[in-house]
Amino acid sequence: MKEEENDSQTDEKNNSQIINKDILKFLFERGNPILQGILFRILNTSPKERQVIEKIYWRNLVLMQLLLRIGNFLIATLVIRKKFKIPASGFKNSKEYCKWIDEMLSNPDDFLKSFIQETQKTLPQKSPALKSVLREIKSLEKYPPDIRKTKKIGYIENLFKEQIEGLVEMYHLPYNFCPYIENYILFNEIDAPHLNWDIKLEPKKYGVLFTPLGKIGRDWRKNIKEIKWINLKIYSPLSKEEYRIVKKTIKELSERYFPIEISQEIKFYKKPNLYLEILEKMLQRKMKKRELKGYLKMVKEKYGEKEFKETIRKWKEQGLNPYEETIGYTSKEIAKEIFGDEKKAPLVRKIYSEFEKKMLERFFGIKKGKEEKKKRKE
């Protein structure tokens, strides 16, 4: 009995080592160096989290292997292979796969015929699904030859994806099993999702569709500023341990790749609406200004600087004031409007000054106080 227990323990250790290597291999093949680095650290620094990730992969792999023992599932995969002219045992190598792709690109009509023939064997003539496919193929004929060909290739790709998604739904699998079932149909390879979630850094700007980080380019460090948001997908209910890993990964990503300014909060006082009103009124404020009188403006514009200076000199000799003061909208008037007391003007100015500093720091990254101190020292 003890020997059996020892054997089972060594098997478990070996399995966990194999899974660990598989996970790392999978991560480094994904082409996302940021997530590779983070998950690599998780796998190597936290034994608990490493065990959780290993269990996820092990459970999913067992699920995939059990699926391949269901006769109807295997029949369904063979039917899909026939529909899309894939060899009964899948492609042996990438050359065969590339040749298949080239055939589809050069002659999509053959693939559509094959799909219809095989579908007619499994579905009755009057079935809505078959009618829908025939209707769609017929609608593609209205396009000019070049566009028609591209449309047909796109439709073949959609049909293939629909077949995979159909299997996932039929056997109540999480959606992240799709690429692994596709890989099994194409290459007869057995693998499963290594995680029940997916976290990606999204580089595109507002209004552009989702693109993985790999599309930015190999040298991602040069393009870090292009990262705009974190995309999280959860494919099945997560355990408490899985949630912890997800939270840890998101926290590390957000702290590392988002600017600090994004998380800065402008704190309001107890009455935010009142202080926003002060801010708005202070922005409209006009100080009393000295402006040249209308006649002198005309002299400057019409006769130039020399004549203007001479006129100013004559006015001063005669004791005339060349300037006039314009009426402004001051902090005293704002204090009277809001608090009903002109004496509260210093409070109005203080609130405005604080908000100005916070807004400069939050929206422009300018720290007013520090810059002024530097200038004084210089």
Check whether residue 189 and residue 332 sit in a common domain. no
Question: How confident is the prediction for the chain on average, in pLDDT?
Answer: 76
pLDDT above 90: residue 187: yes
Select from 163, 195, 227 the last residue of a domain: 195
Q: Find out whether 108 and 149 touch, Cβ atoms under 8 Å.
A: yes
The residue among 172, 195, 218 that closes a domain is: 195
Picking from 177, 195, 213, the residue at the C-terminal end of a domain is 195
Whole domain around residue 106: which residue ranges?
Answer: 2-195
CB-CB contact of 261 with 220 (8 Å)? no
Residue 169: inside a domain: yes
**Any domain includes 276:** yes
CA distance 250 to 35: 10
Within this chain, do residues 305 and 184 fall inside the same structural domain, yes or no? Answer: no
Asked if residue 100 lies in contact with residue 85, where contact means CB atoms within 8 angstroms, the answer is yes
How far apart are the C-alpha atoms of 338 and 342, rounded to whole Å?
A: 10
Do residue 189 and residue 306 come from a single domain? no
Going 299 to 304 to 305 to 307, the CA torsion angle's sign is negative
Residue 257 lies in a domain: no
Domain count, the chain: 2
Q: Tell me: do 159 and 289 sit in the same domain.
A: no
Spatial CB neighbours of 211, under 8 Å, sequence gap ≥ 6: 202, 203, 204
In a domain, 47, yes or no: yes
pLDDT at 287: 58
What are the residues whose beta carbons fall under 8 Å from the beta carbon of 85, sequence distance 6 or more? 100, 103, 110, 111, 114
How far apart CA 252 and CA 238 sit, in angstroms, is: 19
Distance CA 32, CA 35 (A): 6
- What confidence tier does 205 reach under pLDDT thresholds 50, 70, 90? low
* Within-domain flag for 203: no
Task: Indicate if the pLDDT at residue 217 is higher than 50.
Answer: no
Q: What percent of the chain has pLDDT over 70?
A: 71
Region 150-173: mean pLDDT is 92
3-state helix, strand, coil in the chain (%, to 5): 70, 5, 25
Query: Is 22 within a domain?
Result: yes
- pTM exceeds 0.85 for this model: no
If asked whether residues 281 and 182 sit together in one domain, one would say: no
Detail the DSSP E strand segments found in the chain: 197-202, 229-234, 289-292, 323-326
Residue 50 domain flag = yes
Q: What pLDDT is attached to residue 320?
A: 75
In a domain, 170, yes or no: yes
185 and 100 within one domain? yes
